[in-house]
Structure formats: structure tokens, C-alpha cells
Amino acid sequence: MKKTALVTGASRGIGRAAALALAKEGWRVVLNYFSSEGSAVAAVREILDAGGEAIAVQADVSDPGQVGILFAEAEKRFGPVELLVNNAGISQQKLLTDLSDEDWRRMMGVHLDGCFYCCRAALPAMIRKKAGKIINLSSIWGMVGGSCEVHYSAAKAGIIGLTKALAKEVGPSGIQVNCVAPGVIATEMNGQLSPEDLAALREETPLGRIGAPEDVAAAILFLASPAGDFITGQVLSPNGGFVI
């Protein structure tokens, strides 16, 4: 019997790679997207063509009403969500003194509120079943802080706190909650980095390269698999040694 995974922000980058990897491992996958409908539909097509099961569902994870509709649609098509990957994210580089109230709210809204709304929507069915897994995407900047990314770093650090507290709360219900905190990964999120920036980052990374979305998907897949069944409240950081 196939199990159901829901990946937020699965139209591109890490979320897309995670959705494809999970489908390959036999999960039925709900790919959430916000604005990139074409890419989300193309990812679903790729999964279906390979013999898997997947649907794409549009929702802004920072809106609790839309998250409710996302989970209702997932459950209607594939049954209760057994694995939730809170991956949706945005980035912005600004000095703290230049951040507007709106910049701050949007960053917290997509990352931290979105993670909270999706966990709250997923948990009742997991608690009833006494089983389930939640994997939250943090970042190395949530672990060590990133200059000119104070709001992003604060949101990602908040996700680590949420993960640890929730792991204690729902562990007795048989549910694991973990974080994956990637280093620098080649996705559109880093599209603004110049070739010089990228060369400098490679230089600073002991393993000598920028990560690929598949490197992060592998960490997500590990935690989602039975091999990760005794792991909860942890932060797994695929970062090439950039942060040790």
C-alpha cells in the first residue's frame, strides 16, 4: 500500500527534487506550488510517466485558509498525509535597517507561519494513526546566522526551535519531526549569485562544490525512510562541510 507525502514548494529546486525522489521510492506525492503552475504540472507529468502517482495543488502556505484547502484536496485524492515536507521558501538580501514591515512579515509568513499551518493541518491524522513524519527545511543561516539575511536567518532558526519542541510533543504519538538545513544549493533561490560569488563559496566549502537539489533530496529521503525511524528533533545539514 503506497503512502502519501505532501511537499510544499515542489514546483522547483529542492522541493521538486524531493518530490521526484519520493515518488521513485513509491510514495504518492502531493506537489504544492504557489505561482509556478507549469513547472509543477511538468514535475507531476514526469512522475506519472515513470509509473508513479502525483498531483499538483496550488496554495500559499502563509495563508491558513489555503493550507486547509491544500490538505483537504490531498486527503480527498490520496488519503491522509503520512509525510509532510515543509520546504516552501523565499529569500531576500537586505540590511536590517532597510527591511520594511512587509519584508519581515512575508519572510516569517512563508517560512514560519507556513510551517506551523502545515504541521497543524497534518498532525490530527498522524496522531490518530500514531505514525507520521514531518521534515522541515531550515538552512545553515538558521544555525549560524547570515549577514544581510536577518529575517531569513531568524525564520530558519525559528523552524529549528519549532522542530525540536514539536518532536518532544508528538514523539509519544509515534511521530518524528526533523530538520534538514542545507548549505548553498544550486537553485533559483541563489540565481542572483555572480560567478565570482559562486567560486568563492566553492573555495570555502571543504568538499569543493556547491550542492545540488538532489543532495538535499537524499537527506530528506533518508529521514523519510525506515532507516530514519529512531531519529527525531535533529538537524541534518547537507552543506559540504561549509558549516561544521
Please tell me whether residue 44 binds ligand NAP under the rule CB under 6 A: no
Q: Which is nearer to ligand NAP, 38 or 171 (CB)?
A: 38
Check 60, 152, 220, 238 and give the catalytic one: 152
Q: Which is nearer to ligand NAP, 130 or 137 (CB)?
A: 137
Taking CB under 6 A as the criterion, the residue among 27, 56, 60, 107 binding ligand NAP is 60
Per CB under 6 A, 110 contacts ligand NAP: yes
Quick check: 178 binds ligand NAP (CB under 6 A)?
A: no
Please report whether residue 14 would count as binding ligand NAP according to CB under 6 A: yes
Footprint on residues 83-102 left by ligand NAP (CB under 6 A): 87-90
Residue 190 binds to ligand NAP (criterion: CB under 6 A): yes
Residue from 243, 227, 231, 68 nearest 142 by CA: 243
Rounded to an integer, what is the distance from CA 128 to the centroid of its chain?
A: 24
The answer to whether residue 184 forms part of the interface with ligand NAP (CB under 6 A) is yes
User: Which range touches ligand NAP (CB under 6 A), out of 48-56, 187-195, 196-204, 221-229?
Assistant: 187-195
Stretch that binds ligand NAP, among 59-67, 71-79, 125-133, 225-233 (CB under 6 A): 59-67
Residue 117 annotated among the catalytic residues of the structure: no
- Residues in region 131-160 near ligand NAP by CB under 6 A: 137, 139
